[in-house]
Structure 1
Amino acid sequence: MSEPGWTNTAILKVNPRTAGQQSQVIQDKPVTYTHDDHQHGIILLKLQTPVTDVQPALLPDCRRRFRGHNVKLAGEGATTTGPNNKQLNISAIPAHLQCVDMKVVAVSLVELPYGHIFRAKAPNKEICYGDTGGAALHSGKIYGVISFGGEGACQSSATIMDVCKYKNWIKKTIKPGK
């Protein structure tokens, strides 16, 4: 997070790699969701300069919960493993964005300090270091943000921050004019 004297930067347009990355300075201290004195693992950032050439993700339709449906995940995590099938957090970034469809296997979970989450899994697929913060999309809408996976490759489900549980807070926090 933010400490005195630090500058937080958001990197936009990282894929495709030819898109011309943009670095954006974070204008204010990030806003963290807090409930009953517990911070959840979700923050909102306000960029110093408006971004007009990146299509924002649409918020989800939370009336339809989707256990058993697929979500599309994307990230730049490592694609190799080390001894004992353990994920490596120092592997090279893959040349292309990695995308996978995973089936939602558990919904409406609370796991502090992360907060409201759901889990998704696919045979022989996994998220990895470097994928955190990526979107979990369903029908063109963002239903989640990748939080973390297990240490053993393809041995556990992906943990995804449930955007539906924070949708009202997001809308209130980003209301126009703020």
Structure 2
Amino acid sequence: MNCAILKVHPRTIIRYRQVVRQAPEIYGKWHDIALLKLETPIRDVPLGQLSSCSRRLKVGDVVQLAGEGGTTTGPNNKRLTASAIPSHLQCVNMKVVAVSTFLQTRGHIFLTEAPNKDICYADAGGAAMYNGMIYGVISFFGADYACQQSTVIMDVCEYLGWIKQKTGLE
């Protein structure tokens, strides 16, 4: 049985464990996106608004990322794989440094950076928000050392047609 865990922030909220109704809808072999259909609809979790993508992100725009990854590093900024999870959701503003990029192993992405800021393990899957709407999903980052490489964000706008077709959203 596959499960999805929802509503984990703030930490005082009870986690809902939802059964995934059918196999995830996956966009191709190498794209970092999947859609899940839950057994029971969730009504008390506010849904993030997907962008219509009529206004695309451009270099210099600032997106907000959030996650529950660690906030400390080891010597020489080495990532810690077993650091404590912070008690509060961590948020960071990052500047878009590249748009409309295609990686063979990940799909359509854009890149973000901020001085001395990074994402961490456990942040993947979080939203990249701009003007209150979801424009991307955190995909991955430089493996060994924090703040050395751009954060890779899966570009939701490149998949919007597929999302609408699979979900029936308009």
Q: What TM-score, normalized to structure 2?
A: 0.93
Q: Do residues 33 (structure 1) and 23 (structure 2) align?
A: no
What CA distance in whole angstroms lies between the structure 1 residues aligned with 2:53 and 2:81?
34
Equivalent of 1:153 in 134, 143, 146: 146
Q: Which residue of 2 aligns with 1:168?
A: 161
Aligned-pair CA distance for 1:175 = 1.3
Aligned-pair CA distance for 1:111 = 0.8
What CA distance in whole angstroms lies between the structure 1 residues aligned with 2:57 and 2:23?
33
- Give unmatched runs, 5+ long, in structure 2: none
Q: Which residue of 2 aligns with 1:42?
A: 33
Q: Which residue of 2 aligns with 1:19?
A: 13
1:167 aligns to what SS in structure 2? helix
Residue pair 1:73, 1:101 contacting (<8 A) in 2 also: yes
What CA distance in whole angstroms lies between the structure 2 residues aligned with 1:41 and 1:113?
9
- Kindly, what percent of the aligned residue pairs are identical? 58
What CA distance in whole angstroms lies between the structure 2 residues aligned with 1:39 and 1:107?
19
Residue pair 1:32, 1:39 contacting (<8 A) in 2 also: no
**Moved segments of 4+, more than 4 Å:** none
Aligned-pair CA distance for 1:66 = 2.0
Aligned-pair CA distance for 1:19 = 2.0
Bigger mean CA offset, 8-17 vs 138-147: 8-17
* Equivalent residues in 2 for 1:88-127, closer than 5 Å: 88-127=80-119
Aligned-pair CA distance for 1:112 = 2.2
1:146 aligns to what SS in structure 2? strand
Q: What TM-score, normalized to structure 1?
A: 0.89
Per-residue CA deviations over 1:14-59 (Å, capped at 9, x if unaligned) read 111112211111111111002xxx4311100111100000111111
Equivalent of 2:133 in 137, 141, 152: 141
2:63 aligns to what SS in structure 1? strand
What CA distance in whole angstroms lies between the structure 1 residues aligned with 2:43 and 2:104?
35
How many residues align? The count is 167
Equivalent of 1:52 in 43, 47, 54: 43
- Give unmatched runs, 5+ long, in structure 1: 1-6
Q: How big is the alpha-carbon RMSD for the aligned residues of Structure 1 and Structure 2?
A: 1.2
